[in-house]
Amino acid sequence: MIDQKEYAPFYHTYISKVPAGNFQDVLVQVNKQTIAFFEEHATLDGEYRYEPTKWSIKEVLMHLIDTEKIMAYRALRVARGDQTKIPGFDQDLYAKNVDVSNRTITDLLEEFALTRQLTLTTFKHFTDKELLIIGTASNSPISVRALGHIIIGHELHHMKVIAERYL
């Protein structure tokens, strides 16, 4: 169980979604579930939006990729003892400034899988001591292990939204 002092209250929504178990195993399992979901729904229209102002399915997938890269980068910095305050990022700005129109869901899933492999390798080599190191990101305390759990919970959150609103 992660102490709520290790992350800002905003992240509780994500962290609370993470199933109990070994972090590495859960990260692998959630990755398999996400890829299987998209393979099972291979006919999804990647451009579909459930409302005109909402992201397309491809944009949601790109958002998952971008967010995982950012959270893993934050975890690396914190684990290495970098006490520099890491700024937040504007997810809407990121989505606005990436063009996924010429990408397929299959292509995005390939990048997603490669990103996840790097995350798995990075977290695999953090020691128990490093996982508990707390740094500052988005003007709030954050531990390395909380960042890992945010990656999982964030993915589970968006996959639930896709299943409920895009199918």
CB 57 within 8 A of CB 166: yes
Q: How far apart are the first and last CA of the chain?
A: 33
Q: pLDDT class for 4, splitting at 50, 70, 90?
A: very high
Cα 92 to chain centroid, rounded: 15
The answer to whether the Cα torsion of 103, 11, 31, 35 is positive or negative is: negative
Angle at 37 between CA 34 and CA 39, to 5 degrees: 110
Note the pLDDT tens digit of each residue in 111-134.
999 999 999 999 999 999 999 999
Quick one: what percent of the chain has pLDDT higher than 90? 98
The CATH number of the structural domain formed by 21-165 is 1.20.120.450
Structure tokens at 14: 């994500």
CB 98 within 8 A of CB 108: no
Phi and psi at 53, nearest 5°, equal -90, -5
Note the pLDDT tens digit of each residue in 9-53.
999 999 999 999 999 999 999 999 999 999 999 899 999 999 999
Q: Using the 8-state DSSP alphabet, how is residue 9 labeled?
A: G
